[in-house]
């Protein structure tokens, strides 16, 4: 009878111990040899890596040539804040003077140049004070489009 009693206690104890053992899906140690291990992925938040800081491309300087009796190009395009260079390629001195009189380059001798920066977008009309009869005029468009056929200085 003792054998039957001992066998019943051992069987019942084994069942209790197996009931307390973790399921393979709940195992947390690497040594667990149970079935597939399931990990909770969390709330599903994804944070992409930060974008590298890239400096803006340098602004292309724009050169406007003052030739004898005309500016070339007649209409030029520049980004806001870009350097605009007025170069005298002619044989006579020239000026670059705002049509509204708000700015003037002074005399630009042959073979020299002046630089200007236009900090605000807009359309700037200019002329040469020495060649008004010849209608030596030009237009500078700042920050308002790329102009015909491409960037034209942006």
The pTM for the full model equals 0.58
The pLDDT of residue 9 is: 52
Instruction: Identify the CA nearest to 113 among candidates 154, 64, 77.
Output: 64
The pLDDT of residue 2 is: 56
Res. 80: pLDDT tops 50: yes
Whether residue 104 contacts residue 92, with contact meaning beta carbons closer than 8 Å, is answered with no
pLDDT in tens, 40-74: 555 666 666 776 766 666 677 899 999 999 999 99
The pLDDT of residue 15 is: 52
The pLDDT of residue 37 is: 52
The pLDDT of residue 60 is: 79
CA distance 52 to 37: 37
pLDDT in tens, 23-43: 554 445 555 455 555 555 556
pLDDT in tens, 85-143: 999 999 999 999 999 999 999 999 999 999 999 999 999 999 999 999 999 999 999 98
Return left, alpha or beta for 144; rule: phi > 0 is left, psi -120 to 50 is alpha, else beta: alpha
Report the 10 Å Cβ neighbour count for 67. 15
Q: State whether the Cα torsion 154-107-132-104 is positive or negative.
A: positive
The pLDDT of residue 153 is: 39
What domains are defined for the chain? 62-142 (2.60.40.420)
Res. 148: pLDDT tops 50: no
Rounded to whole angstroms, what are the CA distances from 85 to 15, 88, 106, 144? Answer: 93, 10, 14, 19
Please identify which residue in the block is written with the tokens 């308002």: 144
């Amino acid at each position: 009878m003792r054998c039957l009693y001992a066998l019943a206690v051992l069987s019942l104890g084994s069942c209790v111990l197996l009931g307390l053992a973790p399921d393979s899906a709940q195992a947390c140690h690497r040594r667990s040899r149970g079935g597939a291990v399931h990990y909770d992925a969390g709330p599903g938040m994804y944070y992409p890596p930060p974008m590298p800081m890239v400096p803006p491309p340098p602004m292309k300087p724009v050169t406007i040539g003052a030739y004898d009796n005309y500016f070339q190009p007649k209409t030029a395009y520049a980004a806001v804040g870009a350097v605009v260079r007025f170069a005298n390629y002619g044989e006579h001195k020239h000026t670059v003077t705002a049509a509204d009189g708000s700015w003037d380059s002074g005399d630009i001798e042959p073979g020299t140049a002046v630089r200007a920066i236009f900090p605000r977008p807009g359309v700037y009309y200019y002329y040469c004070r020495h060649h008004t009869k010849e209608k030596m005029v030009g237009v500078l468009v700042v920050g308002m489009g790329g102009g015909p056929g491409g960037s034209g200085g942006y």
